[in-house]
Amino acid sequence: KNQVEQSPQSLIILEGKNCTLQCNYTVSPFSNLRWYKQDTGRGPVSLTIMTFSENTKSNGRYTATLDADTKQSSLHITASQLSDSASYICVVTRMDSNYQLIWGAGTKLIIKP
């Protein structure tokens, strides 16, 4: 069964600290893995897209890693800011589909001052 599981479900950290969010997937055949940031009540915004051959990709203070062998990804946030408070969603695209994305339920991150 195609699934994307994220952990933790929620996380609270202090401003300025680093954190790492996890994503495990069982999607096959794999095409790419995406991380989105979703502010409360807003649409998701893309952070990174990684293909099978990429194992690290950065977007400012966000760094995503991908281990295609173990089917795991992580999103590391450096020097967190209050504006990083949001849900972070891991999404895997199937190679054999023009449209099908398998969405994780997201990790809700709260940054406290």
Partner 1 sequence: DADVTQTPRNRITKTGKRIMLECSQTKGHDRMYWYRQDPGLGLRLIYYSFDVKDINKGEISDGYSVSRQAQAKFSLSLESAIPNQTALYFCATSDLRLAAGGELFFGEGSRLTVL
| Residue ranges binding partner 1 (CB under 8 A) | 4, 31-32, 41-46, 49, 51, 89, 91, 93-106
Residue in the structure block whose two tokens are 């690290």: 56
Q: How far is the CB of 95 from partner 1 (least distance, A)?
A: 5
**Residue type (1 letter), 58:** S
Q: How far is the CB of 34 from partner 1 (least distance, A)?
A: 8
* Choice between 18 and 46, CB closer to partner 1: 46
Q: How far is the CB of 18 from partner 1 (least distance, A)?
A: 26
Q: What stretches of the chain adopt beta strand conformation (E)?
A: 4-7, 10-14, 19-25, 30-38, 45-51, 56-59, 62-67, 72-77, 86-94, 101-103, 107-112
* Choice between 37 and 111, CB closer to partner 1: 37
* Choice between 99 and 113, CB closer to partner 1: 99
Q: Which tokens sit at 76?
A: 């590391």
